[in-house]
Amino acid sequence: MTIFLSVIAGVALSIIATALFKRRFSFAAQRPEDYVMAGPEFSIREHLNGPIQCEGVIYGPTGRVASRFVADFDASWQGNVGRMIEKFEYDSGTMQDREWVLTVSNDGAIQATAPDVIGTATGQQAGNSVVLNYRIKLADAAGGHVLDATDWMYLMANGTIMNRSQFRKYGIKVAELVATMRPKAA
């Protein structure tokens, strides 16, 4: 019985240590206030406006590249409400369209909707970063799964936006996206 209790205690300690590590030292540990004083100020209305070129890579659960894409975005704003139309072309030849409706309050809080987003995405702009959290339903061709998504965007000094997103199901990371966004050349 002592060995059994030792194994159970060891498993419990491992789970607690992993949870504490993830809470303090992982992608999910980031908070908007971490970036308040960092780099150039990211204004979503200014930097996600007009025609935007995007390139990205999607990594699967093993960390290997699962897909690559290029995309054209077109964003426009009327006061604090914006509309961003995204047109993706994946390396498989698959095309995907998404239209976001974004609302930014004066304190930087963000709410957003899109047809494949369940409910309302919520986020915050702070310093050189923007975070957005939401639940997304994949297309039926991609399994139709509902995933929890966290998008972090960071404004670089040259105006390029670096985007890193993680997608989780039942708390387990199933995909990660890394992309760049920048104003499209005229």
* Two structure tokens written together for 163: 């985007």
Query: What is 37-183's CATH number, 3.40.50.300, 2.40.128.20, 1.10.150.120, 3.30.70.930?
Result: 2.40.128.20
Beta strands 161-169; 146-155: pairing state:
antiparallel
Residues with Cβ < 8 Å from 55, sequence gap 6 or more?
68, 69, 70, 71, 179, 180
Q: In this predicted model, what pLDDT tens digit does every residue of 63-75 receive, in sequence order?
A: 999 999 999 999 9
Fill in the amino acid letter for 114.
A
Q: Assess whether pLDDT exceeds 80 at residue 14.
A: no
Residues with Cβ < 8 Å from 92, sequence gap 6 or more?
67
User: Would you say how long the chain is, in residues?
Assistant: 186
- Phi and psi at residue 160, to the nearest 5°: -70, 145
Domain definitions of the chain by residue range? 1-30, 37-183
- Give residue 1's pLDDT: 60
Q: In this predicted model, what pLDDT tens digit does every residue of 139-182 receive, in sequence order?
A: 888 788 999 999 999 999 999 999 999 999 999 999 999 999 99
- Give residue 29's pLDDT: 65
Residue 10's pLDDT band (boundaries 50, 70, 90)? confident
Residue 18's pLDDT band (boundaries 50, 70, 90)? low
Report how far apart, in Å, the C-alpha atoms of 59 and of each of 97, 121, 132, 174 are: 20, 22, 19, 9
Tokens 């993830």, residue located: 22
N-terminal to C-terminal alpha carbon distance within the chain: 73
pTM of the predicted protein model: 0.81
- Give residue 165's pLDDT: 96
